[in-house]
Amino acid sequence: MPRLLLFDIDGTLLDTGGAGGASLLDAAEEIFGVARHELPPLDLAGATDGGVLRRLFGQVGHAYEAAAITAYLSCYLGHLHRRLHDELFIGETLPGIGSLLTMLESAGGADIGLLTGNVRRGAEMKLARFDLGSRFVDGAFGDDAEDRNLLGPVAMQRMTAATGRSYTVADVIVIGDTPKDISCAHAIGARCLAVGTGHFQADALRIHQPWQCLESLAETERVCELLLS
Ligand SMILES: [Mg+2]
């Protein structure tokens, strides 16, 4: 049975240097006509885009309805594209990511997918900015559910549809940087490799009892061994 590795994006694979959050606020200003400083801080760590939007709509007293959500997301994605390609963009991939993905691919034995709160198009844009898009077969996204705990089964089904291989939860490892990544792995009985490269230090993640917890994914060989053994 192949291993199924499901990677989170923000804080795990890459850091957009604030471009993601700023773009969500650009859209709030444009769609709702509010100034970003009037809004409470966004709580983005481990959140799904849908969850963030529902909270934002509530804060400005706007009905959370399909047409408005579509308009908001379209506005957000426009700003995201602009910010990701701005000359002042300061995002980066996190330490070890490129070599880890290469090592996993050449080792074989694992199918590599995504489990992210980003809507699919946003995820694609962020990964494409760093030429990482082709590294992932498919996965579950913020469009699939507002509750991250519901994304594990979606990711497993999509990966099965794409690879033709079936997986049990014992084959699945979720790799993520927040307590919400750990709980979405636990929600399906899967393991989580937590990594302290996002908003949480490794010590703060250990409290949530991930299967493994590392300061970063920089020690490529050690991480590869953990994920494939
Ligand atoms: Mg994250």
User: What confidence tens digit (pLDDT) does each residue in 163-191 have?
Assistant: 999 999 999 999 999 999 999 999 999 99
- Per the structure, the complete domain to which residue 99 belongs is given by 3-16+92-228
1: pLDDT strictly greater than 90: no
Claim to verify: residue 75 and residue 180 sit in the same structural domain: no
Which of 57, 84, 111 finishes a domain? 84
Same domain, 148 and 67: no
- The residue among 40, 58, 84 that closes a domain is 84
Q: How far is the CA of 115 from the centre of ligand 1 (A)?
A: 10
Q: Write out pLDDT tens, residues 95-121.
A: 999 999 999 999 999 999 999 999 999
Angle between helices 49-60 and 19-32 (to 10 degrees): 40
Distance 84 CA to ligand 1 centre (A): 17
Residue 173: name the closest of 219, 213, 131 by CA.
213
| Distance from residue 198's CA to the centre of ligand 1 (Å) | 7
> Tens digits of per-residue pLDDT, 37-76?
988 888 888 899 999 999 999 999 999 999 999 999 999 9
Residues 11 and 23 in one domain: no
99 and 166 both lie in a single domain: yes
Total of domains in the chain = 2
How high is the pLDDT of residue 46?
86
